[in-house]
């Protein structure tokens, strides 16, 4: 006798009794890929259109009408994301070493954004699911490593930006 928990008459566990059509599943996967592609490619395009403020290493975002960093204005100490827009713009202009020196976490994040653009473009074209990649990245160890990189880069940016220990601007 056929057990409905095993899906259709094939008896394979995990198969749905009424499998989705290829068009329905492909549409959802492509929609998700299109969203990731639009956001990541959009960020890189904006970074390319901006002129990085390399002298201070911060403030490139102000060209988009955004205010200066409140923490930096009030205390002279940059926030954890200060310099990221500048690093994204430097990376988009092919100035990789300058981007890393300016804000290491921003340079790394721009590489991840470029990878997301390529992968989501491929997924959009082929219907591949991005879910396994998302699950692999959204694990406690990966999140903790990401936070640690951000904090280390922030400490580095504070030292460079404020001239602590005779280093930086």
Determine the 3-state secondary structure of 8 from DSSP.
Answer: coil
Contacts of 96 (CB under 8 A, 6+ apart): 90, 107
pTM of the predicted structure, to 2 decimals: 0.79
d(CA 150, CA 43): 19
Q: Classify residue 9: in a domain, yes or no.
A: no
Q: Classify residue 4: in a domain, yes or no.
A: no
In this model, does residue 7 exceed pLDDT 80? no
Q: Classify residue 133: in a domain, yes or no.
A: no
Structural domain count, the chain: 1
Q: Classify residue 88: in a domain, yes or no.
A: yes
Q: How confident is the model at residue 162 (pLDDT cuts 50, 70, 90)?
A: confident
Residue 56 confidence (pLDDT): 73
Q: Classify residue 145: in a domain, yes or no.
A: yes
Among 42-46, 49-53, 106-110, the range scoring the smallest mean pLDDT is 49-53
Q: Within 13 A of 55's CA, how many CA atoms are on the CB side?
A: 0
Which domain covers residue 150, as residue numbers? 29-128+138-166
Q: Classify residue 41: in a domain, yes or no.
A: yes
Q: How confident is the model at residue 163 (pLDDT cuts 50, 70, 90)?
A: confident
Residue 19 confidence (pLDDT): 47
For the four alpha carbons of 24, 26, 130 and 10, in that order, the dihedral sign comes to positive
Residue 23 is inside which H or E element, if any? helix 22-49
Q: Classify residue 111: in a domain, yes or no.
A: yes
- And the tokens for 65? 């009408």
Q: Classify residue 2: in a domain, yes or no.
A: no
In this model, does residue 3 exceed pLDDT 70? no
């Amino acid at each position: 006798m056929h057990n409905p928990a095993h899906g259709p008459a094939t008896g394979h566990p995990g198969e749905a009794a009424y499998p989705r059509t290829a068009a329905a599943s492909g549409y959802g996967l492509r929609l998700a890929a299109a969203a990731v592609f639009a956001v990541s490619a959009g960020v890189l395009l904006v970074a390319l259109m901006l002129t990085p403020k390399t002298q201070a290493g911060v403030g490139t975002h102000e060209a988009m009408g955004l205010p200066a960093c409140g923490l930096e204005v009030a205390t002279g100490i940059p926030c954890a994301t200060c310099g990221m827009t500048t690093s994204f713009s430097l990376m988009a202009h092919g100035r990789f070493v300058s981007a890393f020196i300016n804000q290491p976490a921003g340079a790394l994040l721009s590489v991840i954004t470029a990878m997301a653009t390529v992968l989501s473009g491929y997924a959009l074209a082929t219907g591949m699911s991005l879910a396994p990649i998302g699950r692999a990245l959204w694990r406690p160890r990966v999140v903790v490593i990401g936070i640690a990189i951000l904090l280390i880069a922030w400490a580095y940016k504070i030292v460079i930006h404020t001239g602590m220990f005779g280093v930086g601007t």
